[in-house]
């Protein structure tokens, strides 16, 4: 997911920079689908939770490739967060970015440094 500098951030870009996560029973019954409908909440925070699943289905068609969902379930959520904590350590522009694209930042980690060093050889 991208991160934006203050010059290139817009409400829509910020709202689209989130992920719906399927947390199974916990998400559905204890948290009222808050994680399963997180993208919708960032776009239209006034839709009540009891209509959020239906509205989420509607925005999937509108957002297309910009809609992000992790349906791996609660069992792998800790693995995912641990992996992200290691892989996402800082943000920087992509190589060769120009204009407004320089304000679109992506998370980098030690693995990206290792890959860059291999490419230099």
Q: Provide the 3-class DSSP secondary structure of residue 67.
A: coil
Beta strands in the chain (DSSP E): 2-4, 20-21, 69-70, 90-93, 104-108
Name the average pLDDT for the chain: 82
Count of domains forming the chain: 1
Instruction: Name 70's Cβ contacts closer than 8 Å, sequence gap at least 6.
Output: 19, 20, 21, 22, 80
pLDDT at 8 over 50: yes
User: Is residue 54's pLDDT more than 90?
Assistant: yes
User: Containing domain of residue 53, as a range?
Assistant: 2-120
Task: Please give the model's pTM, rounded to 2 decimal places.
Answer: 0.71
116 pLDDT higher than 50: no
30 closest CA partner among 48, 49, 15? 49
- Binning pLDDT at 50, 70 and 90, where does residue 117 land? very low
């Amino acid at each position: 997911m991208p991160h934006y500098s203050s010059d290139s951030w817009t409400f829509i870009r910020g709202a689209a920079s989130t992920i719906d996560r399927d947390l199974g029973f916990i998400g559905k019954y204890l948290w009222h689908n808050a994680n399963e409908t997180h993208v919708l909440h960032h776009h239209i925070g006034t839709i009540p939770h009891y209509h959020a699943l239906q509205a989420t289905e509607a925005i999937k068609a509108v957002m297309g490739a910009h809609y992000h969902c992790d349906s791996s379930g609660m069992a792998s959520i800790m693995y995912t967060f641990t992996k992200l904590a290691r892989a996402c350590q800082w943000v920087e522009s992509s190589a060769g970015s120009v204009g407004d694209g320089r304000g679109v930042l992506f998370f980098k980690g030690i693995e990206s440094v290792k890959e860059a060093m291999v490419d230099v050889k």
